[in-house]
């Protein structure tokens, strides 16, 4: 092991969170590949993601992180050239089975993107969007969900007096918390986050990290990040992707303090990437 790693605790502040002993696999990939035409962007990845855990996906640009993430709620289906092989199952049910109800899947697997993308609608209507799609129309019930979801996203106090205002009038950090509230409003089992703080200032990023910490144990979170400090701070498990391959997967503590692969070590110590 190289000298840079000799005092890793100095380099990374690592999450102290531990998982409950009753570990349940929520998402399981088995030799799972994703192709754009003939280009295999995710190559035969096998990994089990545990329920309630925060799992970080790290790796250099173009290594397939977003492709893998988007495969989980079948966002890639929107791209015509995409095909998959292998298995990807959610609590034992194959996600790419022909009888998967994609709407139902996306209600179980919510997503927050890099750039906050609120709808050009009121704050209230943004959060009520998913519940309305689920058929909830009673105003009182919707108001309860909106308040609870904005509360969970730590935004309620800032917006409670302006729920009817357009969401595009919020700051970037507020918009991203609104997007989290919108995702949480449908009670997803999994929340996918693709570089959710890379467009935010440090204070807004810290608030999103706090939210992730509060959701730990309640929702399974898979977060793609280029920020090694962030991965170390918020995740229980880390997986390192390189050129479409899963190089290493383990507890965040192990990946950041004693990676077994030289490439992982080089990446997290900033030698490339
Ligand atoms: N819509 C697409 N059509 C064709 N190829 C794509 C498409 N999206 C991604 N790719 C290719 O798939 C590979 C993986 O891309 P992906 O976006 O998953 O990488 P990433 O790890 O998320 O990178 P970054 O850190 O830059 O976001 C790259 O070679 C990319 O060019
Ligand atoms: Mg990406």
What 3 state SS string does the chain have?
CCHHHHCHHHHCCCCCCCCCCCCCEEEEEEEEEEEECCEEEEEEEEEEEECCCEEEEECCCCCCHHHHHHHHCCHHHHCCCEEEEEEEEECCEECCCCCCCHHHHHHHEEEECCCCCCCCCEHHHHHHHHHHHCCCCCHHHHHHHHHHHHHHCCCHHHHCCCCCCEHHHCCHHHHHHHHHHHHHCCCCCEEEEECCCCCCCHHHHHHHHHHHHHHCCCCEEEEECCCHHHHHHHCCEEEEEECCEEEEEEEHHHHHHCCCCHHHHHHHCCCCC
pLDDT at 253: 94
Nearest CA residue ID for atom 14, ligand 1: 64
pLDDT at 16: 47
CA distances from residue 199 to 46, 117, 185, 211, 228 in whole angstroms, order as listed: 30, 12, 23, 17, 16
Q: Which ligand is nearest to the CA of 59?
A: 1
Nearest CA residue ID for atom 22, ligand 1: 66
Q: Which ligand is nearest to the CA of 75?
A: 1
64 CA from centroid of ligand 1 (Å): 6
Nearest CA residue ID for atom 19, ligand 1: 62
pLDDT at 200: 85
234 CA from centroid of ligand 2 (Å): 19
pLDDT at 132: 96
161 CA from centroid of ligand 1 (Å): 41
Mutate to test the pocket of ligand 1, among 37, 57, 65 (most ligand atoms within 8 A of CB): 65
pLDDT at 20: 53
Nearest CA residue ID for atom 6, ligand 1: 36
CA 114 to ligand 1: nearest atom: 27
pLDDT at 18: 54
Q: Which ligand is nearest to the CA of 68?
A: 1
Report residues of the chain scoring pLDDT below 50.
Answer: 1-10, 16
Residues sharing a CB contact under 8 Å with residue 138, sequence separation 6 or more, in sequence order = none
CA angle centred on 193, ends 190 and 197, rounded to 5°: 145
pTM: 0.91
226 CA from centroid of ligand 2 (Å): 9
pLDDT at 199: 86
Residues linked to residue 223 through DSSP beta bridges, in sequence order: 56, 193
pLDDT at 204: 87
pLDDT at 230: 95
Q: Which tokens in the block code for residue 120?
A: 């050009």
13-66: per-residue pLDDT in tens? Answer: 555 455 555 678 999 999 999 999 999 999 999 999 999 999 999 999 999 999
pLDDT at 19: 54
Q: Which domains, ranges and CATH numbers included, belong to the chain? A: 24-268 (3.40.50.300)
């Amino acid at each position: 092991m190289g000298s840079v790693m000799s005092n890793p605790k100095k380099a990374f502040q690592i999450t102290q969170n531990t998982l409950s002993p009753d570990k349940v696999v929520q998402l399981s990939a088995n030799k799972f590949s994703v192709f754009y035409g003939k280009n295999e962007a995710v190559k035969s990845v096998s990994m089990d993601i545990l329920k309630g855990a925060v799992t970080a996906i790290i790796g250099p640009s173009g290594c397939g992180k977003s492709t893998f993430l988007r495969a989980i709620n079948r966002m890639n289906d929107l791209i015509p050239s995409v095909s998959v092989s292998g298995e990807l199952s959610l609590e034992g049910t194959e996600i790419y089975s022909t009888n998967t109800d994609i709407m139902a899947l996306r209600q179980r697997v919510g997503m927050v993107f890099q750039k906050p993308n609120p709808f050009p609608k009121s704050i209230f209507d943004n959060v009520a969007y998913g519940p309305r799609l689920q058929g909830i129309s009673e105003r009182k019930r919707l108001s309860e969900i909106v308040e609870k979801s904005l509360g969970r996203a730590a935004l309620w106090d800032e917006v409670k007096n302006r729920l009817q205002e357009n969401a595009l009038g919020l700051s970037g950090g507020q918009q991203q918390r609104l997007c989290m509230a919108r995702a949480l409003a449908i009670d997803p089992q999994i929340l996918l986050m693709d570089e959710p703080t890379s467009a935010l200032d440090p204070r807004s990023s810290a608030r999103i990290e706090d939210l992730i910490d509060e959701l730990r144990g309640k929702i399974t979170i898979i977060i793609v990040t280029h920020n090694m400090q962030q991965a170390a701070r918020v995740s229980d498990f880390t997986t390192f992707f390189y050129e479409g391959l899963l190089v290493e997967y383990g507890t965040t503590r192990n990946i950041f303090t004693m990676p077994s692969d030289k490439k992982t070590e080089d990446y997290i110590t900033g030698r490339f990437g």
